[in-house]
Structure 1
Amino acid sequence: MLTCIYFVFLSKIKFLPMSDQIPAQWSNFYLKDVSFVNLMMRRIYNVLIVANPYDAFILEDDGRVEEKIYNEYMELGLRYPPTFTQVSTTEEAAKILNTVDIDLVICMPGNADNDAFDVARAVKADFPDIHCVVLTPFSHGITKRIQHEDLSIFDYVFCWLGNTNLILSIIKLMEDKMNIDNDIEEAGVQMILLVEDSIRFYSSILPNLYSYILTQSQNFATEALTRHEASLRQRGRPKVVLARTYEEAWAIYQRYKDNCLGVISDARFPIDNVKDDALIAAGHQVNVTKDAEAGLKLLRAIRATDEYVPLIMESSESENREKAEAEGFRFVDKNSKKMNVDLRHLLEEHMGFGDFIFRNPKTHEEVMRVRNLKDLQDNIFKIPRDSMLYHISRNHVSRWLSARAIFPVSSFLKDITWHKLQDVDVHRQIIFDAIVAYRRMRNEGVVAVFDRYKFDRYAHFARIGDGSLGGKGRGLAFLDNVIKRHPDFNGFTNATVQIPKTVVLCTDVFDSFMDQNNLYQIALSDASDDEILHAFLQAQLPDTFIGDFFAFFEATHSPIAIRSSSLLEDSHYQPFAGIYSTYMIPYLEDKYEMLRMLACAIKAVYASVYYHDSKAYMTATSNVIDQEKMAVILQQVVGKEYGDHFYPNISGVLRSLNYYPIGEEQAEEGIVSLALGLGKYIVDGGQTLRVSPFHPRQVLQMSEMDIALRETQTQFYALDMKHVGEDFRVDDGFNILKLKVKDAEADNSLHFIASTYLPNDQTIYDGIYDGGRKIISFCGVLQQDVFPLPELLQMAMRYGADAMRRPVEIEFAVNLNTDRTGELYLLQIRPIVDSKQMLDEDLEKIPDSQCLLRSYNSLGHGISDDVTDVVYVKTDASFTAMNNPAIADEIEQINRKFLAEDKNYILIGPGRWGSSDPWLGIPVKWPHISAARIIVEEGLEHYRVDPSQGTHFFQNLTSFGVGYFTINPYKEDGVYQRSILDALPAVEETKWVRHVRFPKPLKIMMDGKKQEGVVVYPQE
């Protein structure tokens, strides 16, 4: 017996409001997803038709069988239509069979006296493994001939009336027979048993039965999330198995009874017959007796084993109606002119095809109609109690799901019968929760085609358009797939891991927007950023998106992030990190106002492709601006609403390579930067908490009280929920608030992430206490195991890096709840592109005297010997951080000259490069220093800033192979021979910056594993 077990650790049900009423055996279970790709693997590809020239002509020219079959396949959405070869003689047939892989032979007699059966026997004698069917027009002579034939050597004999649908049915019947065992074992595919020995009748009923089933398979394919999946999903349609005797029917039912969708049986057919092959071979007539009640006996036996399976009797003897209906079987009259209509109605009503019609059990009137899985989910609690009782007591819901190839849920519900659980409301809840779990499981790791009628709170990731998802979009889809493939992400009882609800406007939407609004002329001009933005905001998005956007608002019910996802962003070899804009808009009850803000944000993201900095970046990377294409990600913002503020408890950037390991940390164990509030604070270079996921209790910034007070987060970013208007600016942070930690304390959002400094005790205590300053330490998460963030980040880093086959950077956010539960949202993954240059030299053996620069905390790996220029900030006694913005402007001007000359240089300066806070470092953006080969953070006695990690700025450094040195000469941490630079003549000198050039190239060497780097100046 073949069965399919679904309780596999893949998708755990988490019950909703009524979970306390659900019996334990059904309160926690797992659903296994079904892969349709491995179904229907055996096909009929090549068909040989053996017919006399007249019949061949009829098939080819009048019947156009191949053309009709092909068209039939296309109309039904079926792939792999067979190829037909026609021959007229056994010799021609043998020649073809010896040279071509034929899967099915159809032998056609032209009249009552030809030798089609002899031809078929000859084929089977020489090629016993080839499927062989006899197709014959019926006459009195043929009927007599068949009575003397042993038909068991042929697969089937059919009555030919010129209907090409019969050819399709024959092929499908053969394929079902070839695949049924595998497909039931693989996925739990269902089977319909047809019991009929009349060649005339099954030749008539099969085309109609298959036509109905194949049409229904197209309908239930709409449950798929993508076009490709819809095509594959049709492979899960019910199989049809034909039996011609009682014994054959009973054997088939016994073998597949756990997957039997229903039985259609004739009333009269052979039973308990033993054929004498010797008599048949001697030419004697053998009469096969038919039992007038064989059908009733079979259906009674089946009902005794399964009280729910639908049983239909069809008969030309009208007195059988009363007998069948008396025992609860459905009846179809073969004599009826609308016999096929009656049969289809019964299939729809009792075998789960078509819409699910909930009926009043007394009047049998329709009370509700459900068209798809989402309909059932939305309406399960609205169905009248008596109607619900009627259907669940007959297992109709499970059967309907089986017919629609929703096997995991149908298999689970099939076991929860009315005998086992006599509670209508609990049945409703179980059905609802099972559907929710299935839809969540199906949505994970799949980029669905957006359907506004299906996208709801349980939907996940969808695309609008047929173009590319862009770099970030691909990264999100990849992350979603990684999560799905590793169920242990959701193995913690108090934590869930997922990506936020996402819809991507693909790049073809961008192309259409640009063309229809004639924007390329101003976009590619030298117009200012503000002028470009204004032109884009005046353009129009298609009105056809309005309904889609409204559906997305309703599904997310949260603020929306509108993120860039260009073709080049976050690519494997040249990531464009943080170059384009990301806007956020608040959730508003006024959906039209929210729609207007969303449209402005999308157009502003499109405009950012053509801003000055973007064009400079393109130049630096040798890309052509008009070849860039932009997808836009619409994404649920992770966080919670606190009055007029919206932000997550934790944001972070995880890197699988730690270039600044301390203590027991290893470079391969990675590093994470954690912050309260929106992640923009991290990527902008704000003060974060740096920790290794493998060593969560070793936090350098919390090791001493004065360090904790000085070097932990004091500010954070939140979305301004009150900011509603049209004032979209080039600065995508125009509606992002920079708040103080005191504001978060007032919001009551610091549970498990803050410690308290009590000045009277001169002590920092883990947790929140009245009075005293709050320190963002993440103590509950890192030290007290309130939420398994370190373990989850270890998984994310390991699985992400393994899947990408290279080091990765992952952005994430966490919502923590007061009950110690939480949700980890993975927001983005991108590769860290490291140089693979071989470094054979031991840098420790190079004496300091030969080094212009030496760093024991360096980022990067490889060798370079083509740089002669150094640009450095004059950090004499007059230096002050107040001048950092002016220094940034001077460096940008010098950088432009290097870009124009296609040269590189070494850049040296104090503090944290790229910080948005000018008091922490020089606030340059990447395009302002894009020609630098090595960037050096110089620590000063009176200006000490810890190096930053995890920002877009650092991502660009690694993707371009730029080295990053941290040197603190004042405490003998590294070497910086400034006097050598001061002695060289200046190529250019400004108030704060000096540019010098060596006569010969400097030799740059970086050991990424040891985090050591040197710059050796030319020796005389």
Structure 2
Amino acid sequence: MNHEPHQSDERVSTGLAGLDEVLDHLRIGDNVVWRVSDLDDYRRFVLPFVNAAARSGRRIIYLRFGEHAPVIDAQHPSVQTIRIDALGGFESFTSRVWHLIEQHGPGAFYVCDSLSELLNAWATDAMVGNFFRVVCPLLFELDTVAWFALHPERHSRMTLDRIRETTQVLIDVHRHQQDVQIHPIKAWRRQSPTMFLPHREQDGHFQPITDSTDATRLQASLEQELLHRQPLLDYWDRLFQDASRAIATGDRAATERLQEQVLQVLISRDPQILALARRYLSLADLLSIRSRLVGSGYIGGKATGMLIARNILIAEQPELWQEHLEPHDSSYLGTDAYYAFLVHNGLWPAIMRQRSASGYLSEAPALREGILAGSFPAEIRCELERLLDHYGQYPILVRSSSLQEDGFGNAFAGKYDSVFLVNQGSPEQRLAAFEDAIRQVYASSMSEDALVYRQQRDLDQREEPMALLIQRVNGRFHNRYYLPDAAGVGVSRNTFTWDSHMDPKAGMVRLVMGLGTRAVDRIEGDHACVMALDHPGRQPFRNQDESYRFSQHLVDVLDLADGSLATRPLSQLLESTSDLPMTQLAEVDRSASERARQIGLAGPVWRLTFQPLVHKTAFIDRLASLLHTLEQGYEHPVDVEFTLHLDRHGEPAFNLVQCRPLATIGDTGPVTVPEGLQTRQLLFRTEGHFMGGNINLSIARVIRVDASVYADLSTSERHEVARLIGLQVRTENARTLLIGPGRWGTSSPDLGVPVRFSDIAGVSALVEVSEKSGEMVPDLSYGSHFFQDLVETGTAYAALFPDSSHCQYYPDHLPEPDPVDSDASAVEQAVRVYHLGNQPLQLSADVASQQLACYFPARRATE
């Protein structure tokens, strides 16, 4: 045991007087493990124990989960048999057993099927040991007695050692023809001069073998038997051994059968993902994945999506992508390693509290802290060291890849952490940083945003173990900095077209120089380059000055000297390195360069417009082809993340790092924005700059942030505004339009309202307004994690630029807001709530004409 809890001195009979004498009886709290070669040798000891427990009035529960014949007759009058399905996985099975034990409470006695049966259900031996390490302490604490069996030749030495360490009583049963011997290996807090000797059964008595010569002969005969018995591997190792053999022998039938079996334990349980994997992941591919896997279990959704997407491209367009798709160098930390980490650190009781309805959110912070303070099992730590040896001192990225992540309908975009590691320093320093990164990603599964996201989608009771995708960061060393040439997010459906000539099916890209973090997140104080792939030169800006203003000025890099992910001004990077690919990604701003020259600054001044990449290379054609091919393969629109590696001619090769089904807001059918809407009827109208396809919504409530009041608030007061909006959104279920200055969900209150997405997830439409008060400008962040949240929740989005000739905005056309107290704070005055009663607003959008209007249908114009 890892601890010294109190154990009752109350004695319990095994049902056999001779065995009681050998063991000095059982004690309340004992877990008894019988290691047998034949399950009949377990059964013959179970029945006397059950009958003795029944005579003493004990509640006896038989946990039936094996495929073998029952250990106890189902008709036994004193035994309650509970059948538990182990095929649902480690977490669901262990949670079910945990709750059953809690439900039956103190004093119950348990008999369990052979633990070795769990191998067939879970594939991996390590999880059998982890299950026992979870339930044994709980049974002990509740003053139970529980019996288990296992076949030792089917388990690894590590698992046998962990079970031995955890249990209170461990007994080996040996049979040589009709000669049966028991050999107590462990009896916690009991001992005698002969207790741990082999004992031969004779007429109900167990005589210790006290003669060393007899003991030696017995041991020799047992070892001779074992020589003729084929040692069994666990299901996991045996499965991959069989797969290697099937490929080597060219056995097609076996290959197809084993491919299906491996998919079920390595890739996914989701039918749609499995259908894709059957087509695009061969058995040889699965063996390659296994060779890069630390631990066992699933590789998770993010890793699966990346691998399937790469194989789709190679299979469907080999002539293009064998040359222009860079090889990946990824490793995986399996889901079983996550469970092993939790069990190793004694966190399973906390997991059970957090999984309850009352503890779902309240228990998460303590569990998160427990994860961050945890250590790794020795066998996992050794493998992590090996991984670092493989990557050398190249930077690596530790990414979440949970079981449900990046699936159809649930992307979990941005909900779990990814951690960049510069991977510099001594081996000990690099390992410590690596372990910290893994803990951080594990702990992010307990973040409030992730938990609320799961809850909103009725996923909170589904198993969600965290696997990890570990990738070499694609890029180059530039003196003290490391970064890729460019990175981006591509989507195969552009439902944010801002021009009526654009085809939504052509797709869209959000492109940045440097690390892709600035492509997937809303960039504070900066802008990614957004291009429709059918009209990449048609930007949503009025002039060149505006195009430069709303371009990328900051670059995310890995700073090798500081050992961190850093954001640096482009001008600063250009001062420290001369080999950035500016001529392929940027244009010279001639007027700004001249002004710089006049004041003595070195030039030229570069603007990251990416126009050379668009006009001088095959980038757009290749990306369009990539997205189209993947959409056909998935039979669904897709969302990809990629980095670019430019050759000396500027031609791009793609490194595909992520692919998932794109969440799309469904079309409502044809929508016509009424002609002849008069100014008095309008709240706003815009051409382009909206998202959600054809929109037809009736709005019953408007929550608006008054920009003139908001602009005068302090930073802390602006955070209070965000909190108040969250409360207002949750007060009622009325269909709500939320409208405010700048960017919703920003982390910088100077740029908008810093709400969390979980606070506003219930709204029907979200509107961002470019306001003259401050620099609060919408960010057309289609393709970002924020966008993914909007489309998954079915939230329509619009960006309003009132200074543009294509936009009209009349906030004063709203009725009187709900009254606030005369002594209301500035925060309360900034948030205006309008209940529209019998005069609801209508929000209508037509994708084809790129028209969106929010208006009062019944209001008569009185110009």
**Which of 431, 436, 445 pairs up with 1:600?**
436
For the 8 Å contact 1:656–1:669, the answer to whether it is kept is: yes
- 2:557 is the counterpart of 1:721: no
Select between 714-723 and 979-988 the one with higher mean Cα deviation: 979-988
Aligned to 1:997: 835
Quote the Cα distance in structure 2 between the aligned partners of 1:541 and 1:572. 32
The CA deviation string for residues 555-594 of structure 1, in whole angstroms up to 9 with x for no partner, is 3342111111223322211321101111111223633322
Aligned to 1:690: 530
The CA deviation string for residues 291-313 of structure 1, in whole angstroms up to 9 with x for no partner, is xxxxxxxxxxxxxxxxxxxxxxx
**Which of 790, 795, 810 pairs up with 1:957?**
790
**Which of 515, 528, 531 pairs up with 1:678?**
515
Aligned to 1:653: 489
Quote the Cα distance in structure 2 between the aligned partners of 1:490 and 1:764. 43
For the 8 Å contact 1:650–1:675, the answer to whether it is kept is: yes
Higher Cα Rg: structure 1 or 2?
1
**Which of 958, 969, 972 pairs up with 2:802?**
969
Matches within 5 A, 1:418-567: 446-448=285-287, 462-488=292-318, 490=320, 496-498=324-326, 500-520=328-348, 522=350, 524=354, 532-557=367-392, 558-567=394-403
For the 8 Å contact 1:497–1:823, the answer to whether it is kept is: yes
Aligned to 1:856: 687
Quote the Cα distance in structure 1 between the aligned partners of 2:812 and 2:246. 71
Quote the Cα distance in structure 2 between the aligned partners of 1:672 and 1:444. 34
Aligned to 2:19: none
The CA deviation string for residues 390-431 of structure 1, in whole angstroms up to 9 with x for no partner, is xxxxxxxxxxxxxxxxxxxxxxxxxxxxxxxxxxxxxxxxxx
Residues 1:904 and 1:597: Cα distance change in structure 2 (over 3 Å)? farther
The CA deviation string for residues 949-1000 of structure 1, in whole angstroms up to 9 with x for no partner, is 2210001111221100122334343443412335232479714221221214
Matches within 5 A, 1:501-900: 501-520=329-348, 522=350, 524=354, 532-557=367-392, 558-588=394-424, 590-624=426-460, 627-658=463-494, 659-662=496-499, 664-686=501-523, 687-699=527-539, 704-723=543-562, 735-745=564-574, 746-747=576-577, 748-751=579-582, 752-759=584-591, 771-785=603-617, 788-818=618-648, 820=650, 822-845=652-675, 847-848=677-678, 849-857=680-688, 858-861=690-693, 867-876=699-708, 878-880=709-711, 886-899=717-730
**Which of 905, 930, 933 pairs up with 2:736?**
905
Quote the Cα distance in structure 1 between the aligned partners of 2:373 and 2:818. 52
Matches within 5 A, 1:355-394: none
Instruction: Look up the SS of the partner of 2:443 in the other structure.
Output: helix
For the 8 Å contact 1:941–1:970, the answer to whether it is kept is: no
Quote the Cα distance in structure 2 between the aligned partners of 1:760 and 1:588. 38
Quote the Cα distance in structure 2 between the aligned partners of 1:892 and 1:803. 43
Instruction: Look up the SS of the partner of 1:983 in the other structure.
Output: coil
For the 8 Å contact 1:638–1:825, the answer to whether it is kept is: yes
For the 8 Å contact 2:529–2:552, the answer to whether it is kept is: yes
Instruction: Look up the SS of the partner of 1:718 in the other structure.
Output: strand
Per the TM alignment, residue 514 of structure 1 is displaced from its structure 2 partner at its CA by 2.2
Matches within 5 A, 1:336-415: none
Select between 839-848 and 535-544 the one with higher mean Cα deviation: 839-848
Residues 1:670 and 1:489: Cα distance change in structure 2 (over 3 Å)? farther
Per the TM alignment, residue 739 of structure 1 is displaced from its structure 2 partner at its CA by 0.5
Residues 1:544 and 1:574: Cα distance change in structure 2 (over 3 Å)? same
Quote the Cα distance in structure 2 between the aligned partners of 1:1015 and 1:445. 55
Quote the Cα distance in structure 2 between the aligned partners of 1:901 and 1:587. 49
Quote the Cα distance in structure 2 between the aligned partners of 1:992 and 1:879. 6
Q: Which amino acid aligns with 1:566?
A: S
Quote the Cα distance in structure 2 between the aligned partners of 1:496 and 1:622. 41
Aligned to 1:926: 757
Q: Which amino acid aligns with 1:511?
A: Y
Aligned to 1:88: none
Q: Which amino acid aligns with 1:781?
A: L
Quote the Cα distance in structure 1 between the aligned partners of 2:237 and 2:250. 12
Quote the Cα distance in structure 2 between the aligned partners of 1:863 and 1:700. 21
Per the TM alignment, residue 846 of structure 1 is displaced from its structure 2 partner at its CA by 6.9
Quote the Cα distance in structure 2 between the aligned partners of 1:696 and 1:668. 14
Residues 1:885 and 1:648: Cα distance change in structure 2 (over 3 Å)? farther
Per the TM alignment, residue 721 of structure 1 is displaced from its structure 2 partner at its CA by 2.4
Q: Which amino acid aligns with 1:517?
A: N
5+ residue gaps, structure 1 = 1-221, 239-440, 456-461, 725-734
Per the TM alignment, residue 837 of structure 1 is displaced from its structure 2 partner at its CA by 4.7
TM-score, with normalisation over the residues of structure 2?
A: 0.59
Indicate the RMSD between aligned Cα atoms, in angstroms.
3.7
Residues 1:237 and 1:867: Cα distance change in structure 2 (over 3 Å)? closer
TM-score, with normalisation over the residues of structure 1?
A: 0.51
Quote the Cα distance in structure 2 between the aligned partners of 1:755 and 1:1013. 34
Q: Which amino acid aligns with 2:629?
A: Y
For the 8 Å contact 2:715–2:749, the answer to whether it is kept is: yes
Matches within 5 A, 1:174-213: none
Per the TM alignment, residue 744 of structure 1 is displaced from its structure 2 partner at its CA by 2.6
Per the TM alignment, residue 723 of structure 1 is displaced from its structure 2 partner at its CA by 4.6
For the 8 Å contact 2:344–2:377, the answer to whether it is kept is: no
The CA deviation string for residues 633-671 of structure 1, in whole angstroms up to 9 with x for no partner, is 111112222233221110111122221344853222222
Quote the Cα distance in structure 1 between the aligned partners of 2:304 and 2:409. 14
Per the TM alignment, residue 851 of structure 1 is displaced from its structure 2 partner at its CA by 4.3
Question: RCO (CA 8 Å, sep 6+): is it higher in 1 or 2?
Answer: 2
Instruction: Look up the SS of the partner of 1:475 in the other structure.
Output: helix
Instruction: Look up the SS of the partner of 1:969 in the other structure.
Output: coil
Per the TM alignment, residue 1004 of structure 1 is displaced from its structure 2 partner at its CA by 3.6
Identity of aligned residues (%): 22
For the 8 Å contact 1:884–1:922, the answer to whether it is kept is: no
Residues 1:904 and 1:515: Cα distance change in structure 2 (over 3 Å)? farther
- 2:816 is the counterpart of 1:983: yes
Instruction: Look up the SS of the partner of 2:511 in the other structure.
Output: strand
Select between 620-629 and 826-835 the one with higher mean Cα deviation: 620-629
Per the TM alignment, residue 945 of structure 1 is displaced from its structure 2 partner at its CA by 4.6
Q: Which amino acid aligns with 1:1013?
A: L
5+ residue gaps, structure 2 = 1-235, 253-279, 822-826
